[in-house]
Amino acid sequence: MIGLDGKTLASEHLSMRLLEEGNKKDLRALLSDEEVARPAGFLPAASDAEFDDFFATLTKYNTAIAVLLGSKLIGYCCVGRFVAEIPETKEFKGKQNVSLGFVIGKEYQNHGYGTEMLRTVTSHLLGRFDAVFADCFVGNTASQKLIEKCGYRYLGNYTMFFDELSEEKTCRCYVRDNNL
């Protein structure tokens, strides 16, 4: 679907490839911090079995991308179908669209790695799809600034219930397409 089978994307400091079984331990450690997991819409796994289920779901369709600094996993991003229904997205109906979520580990935040990852992955995806959407919770200023810095334009807000958090959240919806 996303064209990364057997391929690696490279940027100045990072490499990105499909998430593999060998990344599982490092990803579990990275996502064990609630301050990292909660802004992505979930809580740290309470057990190994729960994390195994999370990892299996995440990697099921080969759309989860490992973000590597050298050989160290510092984050991941996941590509999925775009599903938000707000009036501002009507111009994208009938087109090939994807959404992109991402997490960068706490110790790697505010070093430019998120920007580098998002620009690189977005560029790759725009070679395959008409538009890429990225969302963040209202109030997540760091993600909002990062998404905007990478050239995404704000479309509007939508509200969604997050089962893992047991709460409804308002999300800011952004898009990047080949016209930007």
Question: Span 33-58, mean pLDDT?
Answer: 95
Q: Is 77 helix (H, G, I), strand (E, B) or coil?
A: strand
Position 180 scores a pLDDT of 57
pLDDT > 70 in the chain, percent: 99
Position 166 scores a pLDDT of 94
pLDDT, tens digit, for every residue of 70-97? 999 999 999 998 876 777 888 888 889 9
Position 89 scores a pLDDT of 83
pTM: 0.94
pLDDT, tens digit, for every residue of 146-162? 999 999 999 999 998 99
Backbone angles phi, psi at 148, to 5 degrees: -65, -40
Q: Of 136, 126, 143, which is closest to residue 157 (Cα–Cα)? A: 136
Position 4 scores a pLDDT of 93
**Which CA distances in Å does 131 have to 21, 22, 135, 170, 179?**
29, 31, 13, 22, 9
Q: Is the pLDDT of residue 24 over 70?
A: yes
Please name the residues in contact with 117: beta carbons below 8 A apart, sequence gap of 6 or more.
Answer: 11, 14, 16, 67, 75, 77, 102, 104
Which amino acid type is present at position 52?
A: D
